[in-house]
Amino acid sequence: MNRTGDFKVRRVTVAVFLAIVIGIIVMLEIVGCSPGSQSGQDNRDTSSVSIAALFKAEHLWTAPDTTSIPQGEEGKMIAYGRTLVIHTSKYFGPNGSLAKITNGMNCQNCHLDAGTRPYGNNLAVVSTIYPKISPRSGNMITIADKVNECLSRSMNGAPIDTAGKEMQAYVAYIKWLGRNVKKGETLAGTAGIKAPDFISRAADPDKGKLVYDQFCARCHGADGQGQLAADVLKDPAKQQGGAATAEDLYYYPPLWGSHSFNGVATLYRLSKFAGFVQNNMPYPANHSTRVLTEEQAWDVAAYVNSRERPIKDFSKDYAADISKKPYDFPFPPYADNFTEAQHKFGPYTDMASAKKKAH
């Protein structure tokens, strides 16, 4: 080969080599593993994991379409269970047609969109994990027992007959919702409420009030007492995404006070309230269009959960094995040496139990 041809080959080879090097550098920058990462960070090569994550589609749970509810008696029970979730107060609220045993909230105030919204505390996997031993009671509990826990705690009410029509309807609906979910299957947006990333300080109720006033008060009221359905239904401008009818007590539920969830409800745990609001509030935010930052979510949770509400007897909760008590359960005793205040408001970054169970 002559000199001119040899030079051209070398030039093309160098160009290809440079293109490959530049491509590698760009990819490393994208996944955050470049040699110039900040001092003090872990510089181990995680590019293969990060690249895979870039192309991994989220396997998001989708609820069955209500048009697939079967005909006949089975379908009627499923449909009735769905109605009970949406309009609980009509049947069991202060003016309930069946019993006057709850605070007037609806199940879907906590289990959004009739328990079907991804990251909205949905009911997708309930039928696959119950019956099970409850760490809270130390006993084997069923789906019906879990429903009654919600009625007693989140609705500050009383349990209903587990053999009755209404409970059987609840169970039928929950099983229908999870009919396509396999036991042990991991689906994004299911399995309870995921806590926001921890922050390095305690959650601050005073800062949380500012968040509440800015984002929450317009629906739940400056006094946290929610808004009655009868009042909101008179003004279309106030109706934002709710499903309440004139037969429901509240259009927007109270967040504290005598008609809100009590102190042994799941949402009285800071991580649960913070995770719930970050993925779903303020309307119309959802898990992919979050409005609140981690700090705002933790702070507003601290503000709401520092307000007055009913407190029921919690002395038997986790009594069977105190080591299974959640890190943010707000009542002592605890299996570690952290204070009651830190268990309630954090910071949780140094708690072994928090690191294990939250992330």
Per-residue pLDDT tens digits for 271-316? 999 999 999 999 999 999 999 999 999 999 999 999 999 999 999 9
Identify the pLDDT of residue 58: 65
Shared domain for 155 and 212, answered yes or no, is: no
Domain annotation covers residue 320: yes
Shared domain for 280 and 327, answered yes or no, is: yes
CA distances from 105 to 156, 234, 249 (A): 9, 20, 7
- The dihedral built from the CA positions of residue 130, 357, 148 and 122, taken in this order, carries a sign that is negative
The count of domains in the chain is 2
Shared domain for 101 and 167, answered yes or no, is: yes
CA distances from 239 to 159, 214, 247, 279 (A): 31, 18, 16, 20
Shared domain for 88 and 166, answered yes or no, is: yes
Shared domain for 103 and 151, answered yes or no, is: yes
Shared domain for 172 and 259, answered yes or no, is: no
Domain annotation covers residue 140: yes
Q: What is the CATH number of the domain that holds 332?
A: 1.10.760.10
Identify the pLDDT of residue 50: 39
Q: Can you give the residue range of the structural domain that contains 158?
A: 70-177
Domain annotation covers residue 166: yes
Identify the pLDDT of residue 355: 81
**What is d(CA 171, CA 163) in angstroms, rounded to the nearest whole number?**
11
Identify the H or E element spanning 118: none
**First-residue to last-residue Cα distance in the chain:** 63
Q: Which residues of the chain have pLDDT under 50?
A: 1-14, 16-17, 21-22, 24-56, 359
17-33: string of b/e by CB count within 10 Å (b at 16+)?
eeeeeeeeeeebeebeb
Return the closest-CA partner of residue 126 out of 63, 87, 166, 181.
181
Domain annotation covers residue 310: yes
Shared domain for 84 and 156, answered yes or no, is: yes
Shared domain for 74 and 172, answered yes or no, is: yes
CA distances from 179 to 72, 113, 124, 168 (A): 18, 18, 9, 16
Domain annotation covers residue 308: yes
Domain annotation covers residue 322: yes
3-state secondary structure (DSSP) of residue 132: strand
Domain annotation covers residue 227: no
Shared domain for 137 and 212, answered yes or no, is: no
Identify the pLDDT of residue 34: 33
Identify the pLDDT of residue 40: 34
Shared domain for 211 and 173, answered yes or no, is: no
Shared domain for 142 and 212, answered yes or no, is: no
State the pTM of this model: 0.83
Shared domain for 334 and 212, answered yes or no, is: yes
Domain annotation covers residue 246: no
